[in-house]
C-alpha cells in the first residue's frame, strides 16, 4: 500500500512540476516577445466573457491559428478579431463582399443578437482550432500578473533550495551511519 501511495505522490508531484514549468515558459516567452507567445503558428488566448458559452466557458484557454494574409473564413468558423483595442472571439454567421472587401458578420453563441459592426478581414487575428482547456485561463491570467510572475520565479527557487537541503541532509545522515 505504501508503494502505491508513494507512486501516486510522485506522479502528482511530477504533474505539478510539469504544469509549473509550462507556466514559467509561457510567462517568460510572453514577457520576452513583448506580446503573445506563438507555438507552431498558434497562440493561446484566455476567454474573458461568457459570450461563446457553451462552446467554451469563461476562464478557459483556447488556441487560435494565426491568420495568413490571404486567409478566408466561412460561415460557422469561430474567429478572434480586433475591435478597437480589444480582442473578441465569436462565430461567423454571414460573409459578405462589399466593394471587393470581405466583411464577416459575427455573433457570440450565447448572445441574443449579432455584433453591431462587421469585421473587416484585416482585423481577423486567427481562427479557433477546437483546442480548449476549461478554467486554465484563470491560472494563466494570474501567472501573467506581476504577483504571479514573481511567484513563478520564487517557487522554483524555493523548490531547488529545499531539494538541495534534503539531499545534503540525506548525505550527512549516510556519512554518520558509516562512521558509527
- For the record, the C-alpha cell of 180 comes out as 558509527
Of 136, 41, 125, nearest in space to 144 by CA: 136
| CA atoms of 176 and 165, how far apart (whole Å) | 16
Among residues 9, 13, 33, 49, which one is catalytic? 49
Q: Which three cell numbers stand for residue 131?
A: 483546442
Question: Would you say 126 and 79 are in contact if contact means Cβ atoms under 8 Å apart?
Answer: yes
Enclosing H/E stretch for 126: strand 124-133
Are the C-beta atoms of residues 117 and 83 closer than 8 Å to each other? Answer: yes
The residues, ordered by sequence, that sit 6+ positions from 142 with a Cβ below 8 Å of its Cβ are: 148
User: Which grid coordinates belong to 143?
Assistant: 501567472
Give one word for 111, left, alpha or beta, with left for phi > 0 and alpha for psi -120 to 50. beta
Assess whether 49 carries a catalytic annotation: yes
| Residue listed under C-alpha cell 487575428 | 125
User: Which positions are annotated as active-site residues?
Assistant: 49
Amino acid at each position: 500500500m505504501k508503494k502505491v501511495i508513494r507512486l501516486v505522490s510522485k506522479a502528482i508531484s511530477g504533474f505539478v512540476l510539469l504544469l509549473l514549468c509550462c507556466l514559467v515558459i509561457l510567462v517568460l516567452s510572453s514577457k520576452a516577445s513583448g506580446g503573445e507567445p506563438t507555438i507552431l503558428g498558434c497562440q493561446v488566448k484566455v476567454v474573458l466573457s461568457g459570450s461563446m458559452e457553451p462552446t467554451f466557458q469563461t476562464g478557459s484557454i483556447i488556441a487560435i491559428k494565426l491568420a495568413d494574409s490571404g486567409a478566408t473564413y466561412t460561415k460557422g468558423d469561430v474567429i478572434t478579431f480586433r475591435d478597437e483595442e480589444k480582442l473578441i472571439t465569436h462565430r461567423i454567421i454571414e460573409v459578405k463582399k462589399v466593394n471587393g472587401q470581405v466583411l464577416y458578420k459575427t455573433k457570440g453563441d450565447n448572445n441574443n443578437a449579432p455584433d453591431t459592426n462587421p469585421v473587416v478581414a484585416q482585423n481577423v487575428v486567427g481562427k479557433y482550432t477546437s483546442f480548449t482547456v476549461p478554467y486554465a485561463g484563470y491560472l494563466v491570467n494570474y501567472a501573467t500578473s506581476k504577483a504571479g510572475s514573481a511567484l513563478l520565479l520564487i517557487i522554483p527557487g524555493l523548490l531547488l533550495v529545499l531539494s538541495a537541503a534534503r539531499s545534503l541532509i540525506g548525505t550527512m545522515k549516510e556519512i554518520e551511519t558509516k562512521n558509527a
